[in-house]
Structure 1
Amino acid sequence: MIACTKCGSVENIVKSGFIRGKQRLFCKACEVHFTINLPQKEINKTARQITIVDIAKSLGISPSTVSRALNGRSDINPMTRQEIIRVATEMDYRPNLLAQSLNRGETHTIGVVIPNIERPFFAGVLAGIQKVATEAGYRVMICQSNESHSTETLNVQALVASRVDGLLISHSKETTSFDHIKLQLRRGLPIVHFDRVCNEVETAKVVQEDFEGSFVLTEHLILQGCKRIAVCAGPRELLISISRLNGYKAALAKYDIPLREELIYHTNFIKGESLLALDGWLNLPQKPDGILAVHYANAIDMIVELKKRKIKIPSEIAIVGFGDELIASLIEPSLTVFHHSPFQMGAIAAKMLVDNIIHKDTFQPMLQKMNGELIIRQSSLRK
């Protein structure tokens, strides 16, 4: 307790500012001012985060004075600034970075929405995003739609509510309405699409060579002698599925191979559905001699099932898949794939978004295609 130096009163003492490195006090009983050195033991050290209000109260000055001193403003007496800094250090004051960011209208945080974090492809994309974002000084908030349109919409709303500076998104296979994206674009939020994109909005996009990759895989089967090539396609409405199916059709047309509807089966990339497709093809009067899976995991599922049925790969049925993973090279026979780099896709998408955020007024949306590579393995190599 502090007593008045004149009348000895304790209960009438109030803090009234700070002068020449000392705490200034006022006694309401005898109306006298006096100063003391502030004991360190009286510094308020609590578990909660110290604010400039706490510092101001301990010194008997206004929060605005503390703020100006800590922000290096020139309209503060040097001795006052020195004492404020000393007390702030003793109280273990740490600036509220989020509050500072919001005052500047930015959080240095970007949001990411992906369909399925368990898929190795999207894990690779996230690694690329994280690297570029961190190097650029941005934090990353990640949401998973779990292939649900409604969850995707809620993800976007949650990230916007968290005041992200921009959004990276790959749509769910259920998403056919893009109002939740159009709304945020109208509000000026920088958005970049990757992999599963939307052509209804003008955003920067990073995509794979979906048409080209499917064309190359189908052409490879044809050059290996396949004439009846089945395709395990993806959801009918998904843009990547449409592009990959069109690549398959274009390759057949190039070599004058008739398109057979019974050899086209649309799935949701689910194992059970791809095996239903395989079962249907094997029960046809004329079985396929080649299979293209637009998702490599479905190709692996079918290889396992064909081996169970004692069907020789590739001599009876050759099989190829779009996309790559370590297991594709380890399975017996190893899977021929069209390889792409998810890490590079994530890095490019993140760089585009950072550029969009920094140069919001001059940024021009563009389409970036990722180069892919045909990797020929045992599952298709007949010659």
Structure 2
Amino acid sequence: MIACTKCGKVETIVKSGFVRGKQRLYCKDCELYFSVNPPNPSTNKKPHQTTIVDIAKTLGISPSTVSRALNNSQEINENTRNEVIRVANELDYRPNLLAQSLHRGETHTIGVVIPDIQRPFFAGVVAGIQKVASEAGYRVMICQSNESHNTETLNVQALMASRVDGLLISHTKETNSFEHIKLHLRKGIPIVHFDRVCDELETAKVIQEDFEGSFALVEHLIKQGCRRIAACAGPEDLLISQKRLNGYKAALQKYDLPIETDLIFHSSFKKEDSLNALNNWLELSQRPDGIFTVHYANAIEMIMSLKQKGIKIPDEIALAAFGDDLLASMIEPSLTVYNQFPFTVGQEAATILIDNIINKEIFVPFTKVIKGELIVRQSSNKI
């Protein structure tokens, strides 16, 4: 407590602003104005995050004055503004970005939901998203669904509760109900799908050449002399698996090769699935001489198993797969792939979403197809 320098009373003292960095006080009994040095904020820091109210109390002014000073209002004189800034720095004041954003009706944050961050494809997509978002002044909140529909739904709810301006999503292999997306579409939230999309939803979509890429891979195997080509497909109800399997079938039909059901295996992308498929094919009376997989990691697992079994690649069995990774080029023999360019997928998805956020009222959903590239390596190069 501060006592009057004249009468010594404490209860009659009130704050009255400040002059040249010193707290100005007024004694109502003596009608005396006097100044003292303000308390050092750094010696009395509160354990909670500093607010505008804390600054106002320290200086003996109103919170609205502090707010206007921090926002460089012309209504506040320069001395007051400088003193507010000084105390704000000493109290380690940080603006509440969420509160400011909500006041403006936007957060400059986009949400991203992916099935598996450990897969290099999705890591590449996220890198592309982050680059575009950062350059546009947006923050990114990333959630992993871990291939669980329930987790995906909870992720979407959490992101919406955080008031993201828009959502980028690639669905899990379990997802066959999209009510959690429809709910927010009806509210006008900009949403863009990538990779694993849903055709029943009116959203912008970024996809790869699933059909074309698979067709190119299988056609390449055929031109290398393969006539019995097995396919390790993904889950039957996953849209990209269906498209890639259709590309496989179309290539066989083009070259009048039979589509044999015992050469088609649906997997969940897990290692045990790919190895079970391989072992089943090797037990057939007539083994396949080529293998196509919709996920490159499964092909790498098969290559390692075939090498252990002493089966020559590509002489006895050639392999080609959808998707690329550094490991695919480093293993021996290196794997023939169809590169999806995940970084580009992420860039395009983020660009479209931000455009949707900015031009929400006039935005018309469309589908962007990212062109891929057939990369021929040792695993299939017979000729």
What TM-score, normalized by structure 1, do the two folds share?
Answer: 0.93
Aligned equivalent of 1:72: 72
Q: Quick one: distance in 1 between partners of 2:233 and 2:317?
A: 17
2:235–2:266 Cα contact (<8 Å) kept = yes
Q: Quick one: distance in 1 between partners of 2:21 and 2:310?
A: 89
Q: Quick one: distance in 2 between partners of 1:42 and 1:197?
A: 54
- Relative to structure 2, which stretch is displaced further, 144-153 or 331-340? 331-340
Aligned equivalent of 1:141: 141
Aligned equivalent of 1:244: 244
Q: Quick one: distance in 1 between partners of 2:20 and 2:225?
A: 93
Aligned equivalent of 2:35: 36
- Relative to structure 2, which stretch is displaced further, 258-267 or 356-365? 356-365
Over 3 Å counting, the alpha-carbon distance change for 1:20 and 1:276 in structure 2 is closer
Q: Quick one: distance in 2 between partners of 1:157 and 1:196?
A: 19
- 5 Å-filtered alignment, 1:192-271, equals 192-271=192-271
Q: What SS does the aligned partner of 1:363 have?
A: coil
Q: Quick one: distance in 2 between partners of 1:358 and 1:61?
A: 39
Q: CA deviation at 1:309?
A: 2.2
2:41–2:90 Cα contact (<8 Å) kept = no
Q: CA deviation at 1:18?
A: 5.2
Q: Quick one: distance in 1 between partners of 2:86 and 2:335?
A: 66
Q: Quick one: distance in 2 between partners of 1:333 and 1:272?
A: 21
Aligned equivalent of 1:341: 341
Q: CA deviation at 1:102?
A: 1.8
Q: What SS does the aligned partner of 1:130 have?
A: helix
Q: What SS does the aligned partner of 1:349 have?
A: helix
Q: Quick one: distance in 1 between partners of 2:206 and 2:41?
A: 58
Over 3 Å counting, the alpha-carbon distance change for 1:83 and 1:328 in structure 2 is closer
Aligned equivalent of 1:365: 365
AA aligned opposite 2:275: L
Which sections of structure 2, spanning at least 5 residues, go unmatched?
Answer: none
Aligned equivalent of 2:10: 10
1:206–1:367 Cα contact (<8 Å) kept = yes
Q: CA deviation at 1:216?
A: 0.3
Aligned equivalent of 1:298: 298
Q: Quick one: distance in 2 between partners of 1:179 and 1:139?
A: 26
Which sections of structure 1, spanning at least 5 residues, go unmatched?
Answer: none
2:18–2:59 Cα contact (<8 Å) kept = yes
Q: Quick one: distance in 2 between partners of 1:210 and 1:89?
A: 55
Aligned equivalent of 1:330: 330
Q: CA deviation at 1:89?
A: 4.1
Aligned equivalent of 2:98: 98
- 5 Å-filtered alignment, 1:303-314, equals 303-314=303-314
AA aligned opposite 1:180: H
Q: What SS does the aligned partner of 2:349 have?
A: helix
Aligned equivalent of 2:319: 319
AA aligned opposite 1:138: Y
1:20–1:80 Cα contact (<8 Å) kept = no
Q: Quick one: distance in 2 between partners of 1:42 and 1:338?
A: 62
Task: Report Cα offsets for 1:199-249 as digits up to 9, x if no partner.
Answer: 111111111110000000111111111111111000001111000001011
- Residue 183 of structure 2 is aligned to residue 183 of structure 1: yes
Q: CA deviation at 1:77?
A: 4.3
AA aligned opposite 1:36: S
AA aligned opposite 1:255: Y
Over 3 Å counting, the alpha-carbon distance change for 1:339 and 1:86 in structure 2 is closer
AA aligned opposite 2:141: M
Task: Report Cα offsets for 1:112-156 as digits up to 9, x if no partner.
Answer: 111111111111111111111111111211111111100111111
Aligned equivalent of 1:118: 118
1:22–1:35 Cα contact (<8 Å) kept = no
Q: CA deviation at 1:38?
A: 3.9
Over 3 Å counting, the alpha-carbon distance change for 1:282 and 1:47 in structure 2 is same
Q: CA deviation at 1:190?
A: 1.4
Q: Quick one: distance in 2 between partners of 1:33 and 1:175?
A: 75
Q: What SS does the aligned partner of 2:40 have?
A: helix
- Relative to structure 2, which stretch is displaced further, 251-260 or 356-365? 356-365
- Relative to structure 2, which stretch is displaced further, 213-222 or 286-295? 286-295
Q: Quick one: distance in 1 between partners of 2:59 and 2:295?
A: 66
Q: What SS does the aligned partner of 1:286 have?
A: coil
**What is the aligned-residue RMSD (CA, Å)?**
2.1
Q: Quick one: distance in 1 between partners of 2:263 and 2:325?
A: 26
AA aligned opposite 2:95: P
Q: Quick one: distance in 2 between partners of 1:369 and 1:284?
A: 38
Q: What SS does the aligned partner of 2:259 have?
A: coil
- Relative to structure 2, which stretch is displaced further, 328-337 or 72-81? 72-81
Q: Quick one: distance in 2 between partners of 1:352 and 1:366?
A: 10
Q: Quick one: distance in 2 between partners of 1:144 and 1:9?
A: 64
Q: Quick one: distance in 2 between partners of 1:95 and 1:42?
A: 18
Task: Report Cα offsets for 1:76-112 as digits up to 9, x if no partner.
Answer: 3454444434443444433222221121122222111
AA aligned opposite 1:197: V
Q: Quick one: distance in 1 between partners of 2:377 and 2:220?
A: 11
AA aligned opposite 1:106: E
